[in-house]
Homo-oligomer: A and B are copies of this chain.
Amino acid sequence: MKIEAVDFFYLSMPQVLNIGDGSQDALLVRVQAGGDVGWGECEAAPLVSIASLVCPMSHSACKPVQMSVIGQELNDVRDIYRIGDLVRAESMDLLQADHTLSGIDMALWDLLGKRLNAPVYQLLGYERAYPKTPYASMLFGDTPQETLEKGKAARAKGYRAAKFGWGPIGLGTVQDDADQFMAAREGLGDDGILLIDAGTVWKDDLEAASLRLPALQACRATWLEEPFVSGALKEYAALAAQAGDVKMAGGEGSHNFHMAQHMIDYAGLGYVQIDAGRIGGMSVSKAVADYARARGVTYVNHTFTSHLALSASLQPFAGIEEDVICEYPVEPKQLALDITTEHLLPDANGQINVPEHPGLGLEPNRAGLQSYLVDTEIKVKGQVLYKTPVL
């Protein structure tokens, strides 16, 4: 069967706030082939990814992404890998292409899973899926008191693990950060798994990050996530060498296999965090999961948006029993919750399971999403290259 259509839908909350919350908009992807439909989601900047789908060709290695997808054969999993390679080659000089490909790749797997009547994790090569322990992924409060209350609330909801990120960390003094870290620990309780996310605030400033290590060790953080920007490999490795039991976590900024590989090879990571909506979809994510496992690095998904994106981000490591924790967004905007009708809720043991249904196992709530649709039109030389399709 040939791929007949690739449609992008820009969705947004009525108002997008200037806060570190990536669930305020979304780019939903629909692929159609041979009467089947698959769905995916791209991170981030919907308008830019739409432009990269439909832009005029600049030269032979800078083509619009759709040129390497529409009309392609999609019969088995090899076709998905082939299409990914084609996009990376034909859109090599189009920087945004990896983000754009990500949602398409998810939709291709979803579609093929439905056609072959198998969950995506099976198509990816796993015999079974293992439950994951979710960590509640939250922003730090503006004050330690708020953070403490957030930690208590997560615990009250049954979470054994929680991640606190962004907010005021790194913007004030070392003591300010220490107060936040200790508040998070106090709120979560002594036996909780505490994860700290610095949101790249120290860029590549090793000393600034080092100064926070005593407090991170005192609060027994399992990991320090993104002290630096993704590329600061030497700084990551140097901090890891000083950090003792606090492991480094990072990798969400990777937009291709090699960037994740560099983090694993050179940054001294304990945990590699992959966003399937950025790195090129589940195909690339699975390759990273394999690479990490062979090197003793734990794979974790990076997900702060919808449950469609959550299912997609869990499939690539669903079959790795040793990789036990998963990111689970607990305070997404209503849009993210409304993207699917059903949700991946904790089971009786408080664990998250990928759906045992064909494809990604979750369908978009098309009717419920109409009010979030952002009407978009791109015209070049008087020709409409993109207009929001009917959802």
Q: Which residues of A contact B (CB under 8 A)?
A: 10, 12, 16-22, 24-25, 43-48, 50-52, 54-63, 85, 88-89, 92-96, 98-99, 199-200, 203-204, 229-234, 253, 255-259, 261-262, 265-266, 278, 374-382, 385
Tell me how far the C-beta of A73 lies from the nearest C-beta in chain B, rounded to whole angstroms: 21
- Return chain B residues, CB-CB under 8 Å to A62: 22, 44-45
User: Nearest B residue to A388 by beta-carbon distance?
Assistant: B380
Instruction: Tell whether, in the assembled complex, residue A95 and residue B56 are in contact, meaning their CB atoms are under 8 Å apart.
Output: no
Instruction: Tell whether, in the assembled complex, residue A60 and residue B18 are in contact, meaning their CB atoms are under 8 Å apart.
Output: yes
Instruction: Tell whether, in the assembled complex, residue B96 and residue A44 are in contact, meaning their CB atoms are under 8 Å apart.
Output: no
- Return chain B residues, CB-CB under 8 Å to A266: 262, 266
When chains A and B are docked, how far (Å) is the Cα of A32 from the Cα of B324? 53
Instruction: Tell whether, in the assembled complex, residue B229 and residue A59 are in contact, meaning their CB atoms are under 8 Å apart.
Output: no
Instruction: Tell whether, in the assembled complex, residue A253 and residue B45 are in contact, meaning their CB atoms are under 8 Å apart.
Output: no
When chains A and B are docked, how far (Å) is the Cα of A216 from the Cα of B55? 37
Tell me how far the C-beta of A37 lies from the nearest C-beta in chain B, rounded to whole angstroms: 26
- Return chain B residues, CB-CB under 8 Å to A199: 61
11 extra A-B contacts, CB within 8 A, seeds A46-B58, A56-B374, A95-B96: A16-B58, A22-B58, A44-B62, A45-B58, A50-B51, A61-B199, A233-B262, A375-B379, A376-B379, A376-B381, A378-B379
Tell me how far the C-beta of A201 lies from the nearest C-beta in chain B, rounded to whole angstroms: 9
- Return chain B residues, CB-CB under 8 Å to A18: 57, 59-60, 63
Tell me how far the C-beta of A100 lies from the nearest C-beta in chain B, rounded to whole angstroms: 9
In the complex with contacts A51-B47, A378-B377, A20-B61 CB distance below 8 A:
yes
Tell me how far the C-beta of A59 lies from the nearest C-beta in chain B, rounded to whole angstroms: 5
When chains A and B are docked, how far (Å) is the Cα of A174 from the Cα of B44? 42
When chains A and B are docked, how far (Å) is the Cα of A8 from the Cα of B86? 30
In the complex with contacts A374-B381, A375-B381, A253-B59 CB distance below 8 A:
no
- Return chain B residues, CB-CB under 8 Å to A381: 374-376
When chains A and B are docked, how far (Å) is the Cα of A262 from the Cα of B51? 30
Tell me how far the C-beta of A24 lies from the nearest C-beta in chain B, rounded to whole angstroms: 6
- Return chain B residues, CB-CB under 8 Å to A48: 48, 51-52, 55, 94-96
In the complex with contacts A25-B58, A59-B20, A378-B377, A44-B94 CB distance below 8 A:
yes
User: Nearest B residue to A380 by beta-carbon distance?
Assistant: B376
What would 18 A/B residue contacts be, using CB atoms closer than 8 Å? Answer: A24-B58, A25-B58, A44-B62, A45-B52, A47-B54, A48-B52, A48-B94, A51-B378, A85-B203, A95-B95, A95-B278, A96-B96, A231-B258, A233-B262, A262-B262, A374-B381, A376-B378, A376-B379
